[in-house]
Amino acid sequence: MNAENLKLCEKLVSSSYVQQGAQARSIQENKIRQLLQHRKLPEEGWDDITIELCLQELAVMDSNNFKGNCGIGEREARIASSLVAKRHYRLGHGIGRSGDITAIQPKAAGSSLLMKLTNSLVLDVLKIAGINSVEDCFVVPMATGMCLVLCMLTLRQTRPNALYVLWPRIDQKSCFKSIITAGFQPVVIENCLVGDELTTDLSAIEEKIEELGPDKVLCIMTTTSCFAPRIPDKLEEVAVLSKKYDIPHLVNNAYGIQSTKCTHLLQQASRVGRVDAFVQSTDKNFMVPVGGSVIASFDKNLLQKISKTYPGRASVSPTLDLFITLLTLGSTGYKKLLSKRKAMYSYLSSSLSSCAAKHGERLLSVPHNPISMAMSLTVADGGDNERLSTEVGSMLFTRFVSGTRVVESSGTETSVSGYKFQNFGAHHNDYPCTYLTAAAAIGMTESEVDTFITRLDKVLTKCKKRKTNSGHSTCYQEIGSLGTNGDELVTFTGIRNDTSQQE
Ligand SMILES: *Cc1c(COP(=O)(O)O)cnc(C)c1O
C-alpha cells in the first residue's frame, strides 16, 4: 500500500497497528527492491507470500490484466479457464517477441521483467555452481535435445560448408537425434576403455578433423554428465583442439550444474581453449517439472545470436517455475542441495559397494564420474544366463525402483535414426561386463538410498538362488504376472529399462 492509502487506513484502524502492518509489508517490498537492484539470488530463500506478492505485482503490469484494456489483436492473452489463469499467475503473454526469445514484449512489462530477472538469477546460479566466467544465459522452454538443435542451427549460419558433427559416443538418444534433427551427419567417436572407465578418444577426434577438413565440421559436441562407466569428456583437451582448428565446441551439460566436477571442467575448458555454448536441463538441475533448458555461453554475442534464432514467442512456464524455485531456495538453499547431493554420492557409493561385496559383485572403478556409478552384475553374465540381466532390471522396476539401468554387452545392434550401434546403452561396442547403474542426483535422500539397497539386495539374493537352481521360470512368471508381453520384455533390456534421465 502506498503512503496515501496507509493514511486512509489510519481512519479505520488505530494508527499504531497500521504502522506495524506497513512495517511488515516493507520487509517484503525491500526484498523485491533488492532483487530488482542486484538481480542476484537472495541469500535466504523467500517465503511463498513474498513470492506470490512479487508475481502479482508483475502480473498487473501485463496488458491482459489492465482494467478496461481492449485487445484488438489476434493474441491478447485471453485465458478461458480461471484454473489455467491461476496456474500461470495470470501471466499470459509468454516471453520474447517474434524475432528474439530474450526481447521485451511491449504488451507485457511484467512477463518481460520476469524473463529478465530469471535469466539473471540463473546466471548467478551458474556462477555459484562454479562456472565463474560465464557471460550470459537464457531459459528456453524446450528440453535439452531441442536446445542443442537450436545451438547447432545458429552455428550453421557462420559455417556454410559444414556437414558433420563430431560426437564422442554417449548412448543417449536425444543428444544423438539433435544432430540429425539439425540436419547434420553425426560422426561417432568411439570411447576408449581405460580400466573400468570409458573416456574420450582425443586422437580419433583429431584424425577425423584432419580427414574431413575443419570447415566441414559444424562443431564438436561433448558431454559432461553421463551414465557410468562413461566419464565426462576431456573438455579441456577438446577445447584446445577446437581452438586449434577453429571449430565450435558445443557442450551437453544436461545435469552437470549439480556437480562441481562438471562445472569446473567447463570453466577450465573455456580458459584453456574454446567452448561456444553449453546446455543444461532445468528439471535435472533445479528440481522443476520437465520442460526447460538453460543455454549459456562465455560469449555474449553468440548467445544473442542463439536467442535470435528461436522463432516466435515462447512459453513462460519453465521461466516461472525456475523463478519461483530459485527464490524459494535462495543461494543458501541451493548450495545446501549441492552439498547434500555430494554426500549422497558417497553414501550411495559405499552402500552399493557393500551390497555388491555381499553378492560377489563389485562397484566398478569410475572415480571420474561425479554423479553416476555402476556395479558389476556378473551373476547375469555368461552363457545361459543372458536373460538374467533383463530380469534384474525388471524385478527392480516392479519393486518401484526407478532410474536404475541394467546394461549388458549382448552383442545386439540398435538402430538410432538409421545409424547402427553395437550394444547401445553401454557407450561402447564391447564393454567387458554386465552392470547396473545408479545416480546420486540432486534431491536424492538417504531413505531412497536405503530403500534401493534393501530392494536390490533382495533381488540379487533371489536371482542368485535361481541361477544355482538353474532355469528362470519363476522370474519369467513374475514378469508375466505384470501382463508384460514379449515385445515389452525387450524394452526392459539394456538401456530402455529405466525411467530416468535416459528417456
Ligand atoms: C537428459 C539428457 C539429454 C537430453 O534430454 P532432454 O529430454 O532433451 O532434456 C541429453 N543428454 C544427456 C546426457 C542427458 O542426460
Same fold, 109-330 and 334-501: no
Q: Does the pLDDT value for residue 498 go beyond 70?
A: no
pLDDT band at 488 (very low <50, low <70, confident <90, very high): very low
Q: Does the pLDDT value for residue 373 go beyond 80?
A: yes
Architecture of the domain defined by 334-501: Alpha-Beta Complex (3.90)
94: cell is 509468454
pLDDT band at 365 (very low <50, low <70, confident <90, very high): very high
**Could you read off the pLDDT of 2-19 as tens digits, one per residue?**
999 999 999 999 999 999
Output the ligand 1 site: residues, CB below 6 A.
143-145, 170, 172, 174-175, 223, 225-226, 252, 254-255, 281, 501
pLDDT band at 383 (very low <50, low <70, confident <90, very high): low
**Could you read off the pLDDT of 46-68 as tens digits, one per residue?**
999 999 999 999 999 999 999 99
140: cell is 528456453
284 CA to centre of ligand 1 in angstroms? 9
Q: Does the pLDDT value for residue 477 go beyond 60?
A: no
260 CA to centre of ligand 1 in angstroms? 19
First to last CA, the chain: 49
Distances (CA, A) of 57 to 67, 132, 320, 413: 14, 32, 14, 56
Mean pLDDT of 247-273: 98
* Sequence-separated (6 or more) residues with CB below 8 Å from residue 377: 361, 389, 392, 406, 408, 433, 434, 435, 436
Closest ligand 1 atom to 223 CA? 13
**Could you read off the pLDDT of 285-317 as tens digits, one per residue?**
999 999 999 999 999 999 999 999 999 999 999
- For cell 555402476, the residue is 374
For the chain, the structural domain boundaries read 109-330, 334-501
Class of domain 109-330: alpha beta
423 CA to centre of ligand 1 in angstroms? 19
pLDDT band at 177 (very low <50, low <70, confident <90, very high): very high
Rg of the chain over Cα atoms, rounded to whole angstroms, equals 26
CA dihedral (109, 34, 86, 146) in degrees, to 10, reads 70
Q: By the 8 A CB rule, do 192 and 185 touch?
A: no
Instruction: Determine the Cα angle at 266 with ends 260 and 267, to 5°.
Output: 85
d(CA 4, CA 111): 28
Mean pLDDT of 435-446: 97
370 CA to centre of ligand 1 in angstroms? 17
Closest ligand 1 atom to 178 CA? 8
Q: Does the pLDDT value for residue 475 go beyond 60?
A: no
Share of the chain above pLDDT 70, in %: 92
pLDDT, residue 390, reads 80
pLDDT, residue 99, reads 84
177 CA to centre of ligand 1 in angstroms? 11
- Give the closest residue (by CA) to ligand 1 atom 12: 254
Mean pLDDT of 258-270: 98
Q: Does the pLDDT value for residue 495 go beyond 80?
A: no
Q: CB count, 10 Å around CB of 175?
A: 21
Which helix (H) or strand (E) element contains residue 297? strand 293-297
- For cell 521485451, the residue is 104
pLDDT, residue 221, reads 98
d(CA 222, CA 329): 30
- Give the closest residue (by CA) to ligand 1 atom 1: 501
Segment among 130-134, 194-198, 336-340, 460-464 with least mean pLDDT = 460-464
Mutate which of 252, 282, 290 to test ligand 1's pocket (most atoms within 8 Å of Cβ)? 252
**Could you read off the pLDDT of 146-172 as tens digits, one per residue?**
999 999 999 999 999 999 999 999 999
398 CA to centre of ligand 1 in angstroms? 24
d(CA 475, CA 495): 20
More confident residue, 406 or 99: 406
Segment among 367-376, 418-427, 458-467 with least mean pLDDT = 458-467
148 CA to centre of ligand 1 in angstroms? 10
Pairing outcome for strands 185-189 and 164-168: parallel
Closest ligand 1 atom to 146 CA? 8
pLDDT, residue 503, reads 34
502 CA to centre of ligand 1 in angstroms? 7
pLDDT band at 98 (very low <50, low <70, confident <90, very high): confident
pLDDT, residue 380, reads 75
* Sequence-separated (6 or more) residues with CB below 8 Å from residue 179: 148, 152, 165, 167, 185, 186, 221
- Give the closest residue (by CA) to ligand 1 atom 14: 254
Q: Name the strands in the sheet holding 249-252, side by side, starting at the edge strand that comes first in the sequence.
A: 136-140, 293-297, 277-281, 249-252, 217-223, 164-168, 185-189
Q: Does the pLDDT value for residue 323 go beyond 80?
A: yes
Q: Does the pLDDT value for residue 447 go beyond 80?
A: yes
